[in-house]
Amino acid sequence: MPFHRALAAARRTTEAFVNRASVDEARATVAIAAVAIRAVAIPTVTLASVLIIGAGIAGDSHAVTADGLAAPATISDGGIPGILPGAVPGDPARGRAIVADRQVGLCLLCHSAPIPEERFQGELATDLAGAGARATAAQLRLRIADPSRLNPETIMPSYFKVEGLTRVGATFQGKPLLDAQQIEDVVAWLLTLREVPR
């Protein structure tokens, strides 16, 4: 039962983020989820592998069109192989800033990352250190744009999805959480993170 409560709390966090709820509310929900997960002795790394890395690494060998995204994209071999429409190759410095910004990406709410100046990083999801060694640009792009395509039960928000979402405020309907260029910038930064944490 505590595990189910932890998952429910994590889902509420995602909904709060999608609905642009307050950062404090989302942080409190993540803290509750983390405590519940620890209480049932589920290692964070196990949960993280399900949320980010574990789902769909191999992918499909055929290409499909990704429906519901802010711009057309093709999914092939477990990723989006091309740069998202309307974007240019990403800038790692801008990507790092997006990940670190608690008002834009909110990545550090759930993830920890090699950004030492940012205190109180998340422990709920995968450590972003080593992301560039674990996944390709295409895989990272899909995991950011629409992680629910790989794992329908993920609590990670779909940053580029605009259709098929629930409980989205009227002001934000039809708008992605990050635009194509921001996603490319985050992918570029994640690819620089080649050193796996110890």
Is residue 105, in this structure, part of any structural domain at all?
A: yes
Q: What CA–CA distance (Å, rounded) separates 23 from 20?
A: 8
More confident of the two residues 40 and 193:
193
The CATH number covering residue 161 comes to: 1.10.760.10
φ, ψ of residue 64 in degrees (nearest 5): -135, 155
Q: What CA–CA distance (Å, rounded) separates 186 from 92?
A: 7
Is residue 100, in this structure, part of any structural domain at all?
A: yes
Q: What is the pLDDT of residues 9-36, one digit of tens each?
A: 555 554 544 444 444 454 455 455 554 4
pLDDT band at 185 (very low <50, low <70, confident <90, very high): very high
Is residue 7, in this structure, part of any structural domain at all?
A: yes
Number of domains making up the chain: 1
Q: What is the pLDDT of residues 57-84, one digit of tens each?
A: 333 345 677 788 999 999 998 999 999 9
Is residue 198, in this structure, part of any structural domain at all?
A: no
Q: What CA–CA distance (Å, rounded) separates 198 from 193?
A: 14
Q: What is the pLDDT of residues 153-179, one digit of tens each?
A: 999 999 999 998 888 888 889 999 999
Half-sphere exposure of 12 (CA within 13 A, CB side): 17
Residues written for the chain? 198
Is residue 159, in this structure, part of any structural domain at all?
A: yes
Q: Domain residues for 8?
A: 2-192
Half-sphere exposure of 157 (CA within 13 A, CB side): 28
